[in-house]
Chains A and B, each alone.
Chain A
Amino acid sequence: MGRRENLRRKEGASPSEANLRDRYHGWLQHHRLSAADSLLRVLDNLGPSLLTWLVIGIALALPVGLNVSLDNVNDLSAGWDSPAQISVFLQEGISADRGNQLEIELGAREDIAQTQFVSREEALAEFSTLSGFADVLASLQKNPLPNLILITPTDNLQGSSVSALRESIQGMPDVAEAVLDMEWLQRLNRIMELSRRLVMAIGLMLVAGVLLILGNTIRLAIENRRDEIVIVKLVGGSNAFVRRPFLYTGLWYGVGGGGLAALLVSLSLWYLEEPVGNLVLLYGSGFQLRGLGVMGALNLITLGGLLGLGGAWLAVTRHIASIEPR
């Protein structure tokens, strides 16, 4: 090191500070050179590169897309959290009169805000218009539906007291079953939680897959340029110097894959937008499909870039040190 610097100083008469600056510029320059050269190589082999991008893009789009869908379901169900409702199905053979009386009794309770008696005939009529099975239902000899009382607990009632209320009603002699309508929501939440974990697991596996794919792609690139690496090392190139272009290659593959993933997710959401809109309209809700957003897309591209660097790093540390001039 020192000697070469002495030589250079004699020529340019530059102080060592300027020399260091020169070196820093040279180093920056090689980064720029490697980045550009790697990008050109990736673009020169557009076919295989596109394939790599697609593989990475799909592998990243899958978990991210699922996650965005879960976010949307979450948004949608948040509007349904309250108020809870208890459906009280009466025993078979309980008359409508007795049902009406029961409704009044229940309505008098402190912890109940509202009650509504739905007779089995009303229920059948509503069901046949809503379900579109009118013909089938008309052909039935006997109405299969029980009498029903819908109960809305008072607003300030906590979740556990709502359950207690349900239990006390369930215990009444004329009641066949009291169903807390929150239950399906809780179930949904539990399913959502499970789904998130599943998506997480799938995502981790796919990320590992992406790392391996990138590692392998870079390994092949290294093999292809073996002779070149030998020559570079022979004339004094360090491992870091040899690594640089391959790390950039990994970065470009990753960034391209991440960008493609963002595109794929956006495309699928766009494809879902209309049917979801129609569905939401049916429920009269103001729900709007949430997309990836600019930040989401940028994060995805960053993630891709990091994975690209990571995969390249795996390949580069394992393979470049072992290539030595013989």
Chain B
Amino acid sequence: MITFDRVSKRYEEGHDALREVSVSIDRDELVFLTGHSGAGKSTMLRLIMLMDRPSRGQVTVDGQNLATVRPRGVPQHRRNIGVVFQNHQLLFDRTVFDNVALPLIIAGYDHREVGRRVRAALDKVGLLNRERAMPLTLSGGEQQRVGIARAVVGKPKILLADEPTGNLDPILSAEIMNLFEAFNQVGVTVLIASHDLILISRLQHRIITLQQGRLVTGSAP
């Protein structure tokens, strides 16, 4: 589903964020991405999202070589991927409902369909009763779950998460991970960047480790 073929990323300042990374993630997998701060985890996710382009090598997502995606095609590419970020990235002047509905509005769904899907997504993350709330009135864990609901509401084939449990307590973190596992169970490819080795090693999934931009373990399932 996601393939990195000898991908390198060098930022303008000459810093190598990724060096010759080759890895392949299958359709039904849930994979953790770990490594020290600055190892290149976010960079990998950014390349998949086309927030950046590799300096060398080739990234393939769902059979499409990303080098062939032109700037005009980037929004369409992103609509097929759900993303969750540590800093939530919610619209704080919109209700929970409106936040989750955003990808559907962008994709141009009919408003009845939007309502149905948003409620289904909120139900999955256990926030159905908070749809009218503003994000700032929610706890960190709840905000994170709103972000997850938004990521999955459009039924993407791929779900990316960057430090989704960054500042949550262990119990909440485990709950969030369970949510991701549930989505993986219904066929979504999930890639989660996380520092939390203790948590992720307890779960039975492949772990890719990066070290200073190089892939050290987990290149194959």
Which residue numbers of A lie inside 8 Å of B, CB to CB?
Answer: 1, 3-4, 7, 22-23, 25-27, 29-30, 33, 228, 230-239, 241, 324-326
Contacts and interface: CB of A to CB of B under 8 A. Distances in A.
A265 to B, nearest CB: 38
18 contacts: A3-B62, A3-B80, A4-B80, A4-B154, A22-B109, A22-B110, A25-B108, A26-B110, A29-B108, A29-B110, A230-B89, A231-B90, A231-B91, A234-B78, A236-B75, A236-B78, A236-B79, A238-B72
B1 to A, nearest CB: 12
B103 interface: yes
B103 A26 contact: no
Interface in B91-119: 91, 102-103, 105-111, 113
A233 B49 CA distance: 11
- Chain B interface residue number, banded: 20 to 34
B41 interface: no
Contacts of A236: 75-79, 103, 106-107, 154
Nearest to B153: A235
Contacts, number: 73
Nearest to B62: A3
B198 interface: no
A238 B75 CA distance: 5
Contacts of A237: 75, 102, 106
B76 A26 contact: no
Interface string B45-72: 0000101000000000010000000001
B9 interface: no
B155 interface: yes
Interface in B25-53: 49, 51
Contacts of A231: 89-91, 102
B108 A27 contact: yes
Most buried by A among B91, B105, B113, B154: B105
B116 to A, nearest CB: 11
B105 A30 contact: yes
Contact of B106 (A7, A228, A230, A241): A241
A190 B72 CA distance: 55
B75 A233 contact: yes
A4 B107 contact: yes
Most buried by B among A26, A30, A235: A235
Given A235-B150, A238-B75, A241-B75, 19 more contacts: A3-B62, A3-B157, A4-B107, A22-B109, A22-B110, A26-B110, A27-B108, A30-B105, A33-B105, A228-B91, A231-B90, A232-B102, A232-B106, A233-B75, A235-B83, A235-B102, A235-B106, A236-B154, A238-B72
A27 B102 CA distance: 13
Contacts of B108: 22-23, 25-27, 29-30
Given A30-B108, A228-B91, A235 B76 contact: no
Interface in B160-194: none
B91 A26 contact: no
Contacts of B150: 235
B89 A234 contact: yes
A3 B108 CA distance: 16
A221 to B, nearest CB: 14
Nearest to B90: A231
A123 to B, nearest CB: 80
Contact of A234 (B49, B62, B109, B110): B49
A1 B106 contact: no
Given A26-B108, A324-B51, A1 B76 contact: yes
A4 B49 CA distance: 17
B152 to A, nearest CB: 11
A187 to B, nearest CB: 61
A4 B105 contact: no
Contacts of B103: 235-236
Contacts of B154: 4, 236
A239 to B, nearest CB: 8
Contacts of A326: 51
Contacts of A235: 78-79, 83, 102-103, 106, 150
A234 B81 CA distance: 10
